Each structure stands twice: as C-alpha cells, then as structure tokens.
Amino acid sequence: MSFEKVAIIGLGLQGGSIGLATQEFLPEVQTSGFDLDPATRARAADRGLVHQVCETAAEAVRDADLVIFCVPPGVMGEAALDVRDALRKDALISDVGSCKQSIAAALREALPDHYVIPAHPVAGTENSGPDAGFAHLFRNRWCIVTPPEHTDLVKLSQLVEFWEALGANVEIMDAQHHDLVLAVTSHLPHLIAYTIVGTASDLEDVTQSEVIKYSAGGFRDFTRIAASDPTMWRDVFLTNKEAVLTMLQRFTEDLTALQRAIRVGDGDALFEQFARTRAIRRSIIQEGQDDSRPDFGRGDHENGTKKI
C-alpha cells in the first residue's frame, strides 16, 4: 500500500466505515480522523473508528498522504479550506460524495495546489452517525473514481489500489456522466421515497398509526430509504439539481404513460412494463449488487458481513 497515513474528515457512516475497513484490511496504515461534532468525536474514539481522533481538522490531516472528506456536499469546500495550510504538499485529496462535478469544483477551488481525485463509493445504509459504520460496508460494492483531465496516473493508481484493498470494485468514470447515472440510480429513488412516505403521512383519512400498522413490504422499503440523512440528501439535490431535474422529467413522462394505461385499461402495456422491470431486478442480483433473500441479507452486517 502506497499510503502510510490516511486522514478522514467526517466520522459518520462513510468515514467510520473507511476507518474500520482500513484498520482491518490495511493494518500497516495509520488513520486519523476529525468530526465537527464533539459528541461524534467522543463516540468515534469509543468505537475506535480511527487510530487517533483529533480535536481539530488541521491536526488530523497533518502528515497524511491521503485525505478523504466524508462531509455533506454543501460544506465540502469549507471543510477543505479549513485544512489547507496543514496539508502536505504531496497529499492526495479525495472524498465520498455522490455529486462529483460540484464537489470536484469545490475541492479544486479550495485546494488549487493539491492533487484532487474525487471518488464515490456506492455503498451505504439508511443509518448515519458514528455508530453506523462497519468494516465490510464496501465489500463487493462499486467505488466510482472520477479523475479530472491530466490526472497524475501514479496518484490515480494509488487511490484505486486503496479502494480495492477495502473490498470495492473500482470504476473510472467522467464526472458529468457519473452525476447523470447516479441521478437515476440513487438520487431520484430517494426523492420518490421521500415523496411517497410524506404523502402517506399527510393523508387526512389515514391515521399515522394505520400507516405504520398496515405497512406492506413496498412501503416499508420506501421508509428505509426515506430515513436517510436529511442534511446529506438536501445537499445532494441542490448540488446535482440539473441531472436530477432531467431524470425527474423523464420519470414524470413515464409515470404519465402508466397513468394513462391504468385509466384506459391497457393491461398489455402494464404487463410489459412490469415484466421488463422484473428482469432488471434479476440482473442486479446476478451482478451481486443485492441479495434475493427475504431480508435482502441486511441482517448479515451484524455478523461481520455486508449490509445492502
């Protein structure tokens, strides 16, 4: 492993998991971390998320040759500015955010004299905070790396090597393309989940207790997604708004077509759509990106394996 010390700024689900995974799979690498919340820092120290929990971000990044920002997209630039004067000149700067164009721009503006290679591990749960992290979060999950033009290939290979050591499958992708793909595979589903759960709770003729009591499997899955960190997802939609709005328009058109099929009794159109989407689900399972078991294998993380 090319890195000797990894600094993690933000010790929630992603940052905590990186710290635990690094200690398990790269035991020779030293880790340090910082979080703006004192309670999070205390809990991170209790759990041993990193070797050293620091009282300032500058202290955490000092002497680190890899610095990973695990903070909401809206404060990425501010977090980078906070450590600029303490960074090693040759330190590699990366992140875990799901909006690569805006984050890359914020990091480059804050740290114009450093190597910046953004990344996005496509892995997570509905839980957040220092208690949410676990070492196997990234096992067999994709990590998309979006290097800018004229990237130092040595630095790029080092970052790829790091994520592969944590168990991730690495894909190199253009930042603009990444944002469009993630808008439909991640951002739009979260927006739909937030909307459906909000609509159910607002219905005047259904009490809150009935929504909870009679929740079918589909609604329960939507509530799991809608329980995700509100700060992060607010920033995601504001920083990737163009791609999200493009996909939302396409979704609205498709939803209108289904609405018409139901209204006119076009069963063939409905069956064709449902059969096509069922095949997509099977493909996701075959790719190893989800589990076909009734609980989707979500309980396995307590036994040291993955959680979807």
Structure tokens belonging to residue 106 = 């914020």
Give the number of domains in the chain.
2
Residue 166 shares a structural domain with residue 197: no
Same domain, yes or no, for 131 and 117? yes
pLDDT of residue 48: 96
Give me the residues of the chain with pLDDT under 70, please. Answer: 204-209, 211-212, 214-217, 284-308
| 42-78 tens-digit pLDDT | 999 999 999 999 999 999 999 999 999 999 988 999 9
Q: Which long-range contacts (CB under 8 A, 24 or more apart) does 85-90 make?
A: 85/58, 86/57, 86/58, 86/59, 86/61, 86/62, 87/61, 87/111, 87/114, 88/63, 88/64, 89/113, 89/114, 90/65, 90/115
Q: What local confidence, expressed as pLDDT, does residue 218 receive?
A: 74
Per-residue burial over 122-147, b if 16 or more Cβ lie within 10 Å, else e, is bbbbebbbbbbbbbbbbbebbbbbbb
The answer on 95 and 48 residing in a single domain is yes
pLDDT digits (tens, 9 = 90+) for 229-247: 888 889 889 988 898 999 9
Q: Tell me, what CATH number does 260's domain have?
A: 1.10.3660.10
Query: Which of 118, 150, 173 marks a domain boundary?
Result: 173
pTM here? Answer: 0.79
Structure tokens at 204: 């005047």
38 and 167 in a single domain? The answer is yes
- Of 244, 265, 286, at which residue does a domain stop? 265
Whether 291 is covered by a domain: the verdict is no
Question: Are residues 28 and 165 located together in one domain of the fold?
Answer: yes
205, 158: one domain: no
Q: Kindly state whether residues 92 and 155 are assigned to the same domain.
A: yes
Say whether 30 sits in a helix, a strand or coil.
strand
| Domain ranges, residue 243 | 177-265
Work out whether the CA dihedral 111, 114, 117, 119 comes out positive or negative: negative
Residue 203 lies inside a defined structural domain of this protein:
yes
pLDDT of residue 141: 92
In a domain, 50, yes or no: yes
Does residue 156 form part of some domain?
yes
Q: Could you give the angle at the alpha carbon of 287 between the alpha carbons of 281 and 291, nearest 5°?
A: 60
Query: For residue 278, what are the CA distances in angstroms to 84, 99, 133, 272, 283?
Result: 49, 28, 31, 10, 9
Is the residue at 27 inside a domain? yes
Of 173, 190, 225, the last residue of a domain is 173
**Local structure of 227: helix, strand or coil:** coil
Residue 85 in domain: yes
Quote the pLDDT of residue 36: 95
**Domain check: are 191 and 165 in the same one?**
no
Both 107 and 145 in a single domain? yes
In this prediction, residue 119 carries a pLDDT of 97
Quickly count: other Cβ atoms within 10 Å of residue 307's Cβ. Answer: 20
The answer to whether residues 156 and 187 belong to one domain is no
In this structure, is residue 300 part of a structural domain?
A: no
Q: Is the domain of 225 the same as that of 119?
A: no
The CATH number given to whatever domain includes residue 92 is: 3.40.50.720
Residues 101, 85, single domain; the answer is yes
pLDDT at 230: 87
Query: Is residue 257 included in any domain, yes or no?
Result: yes
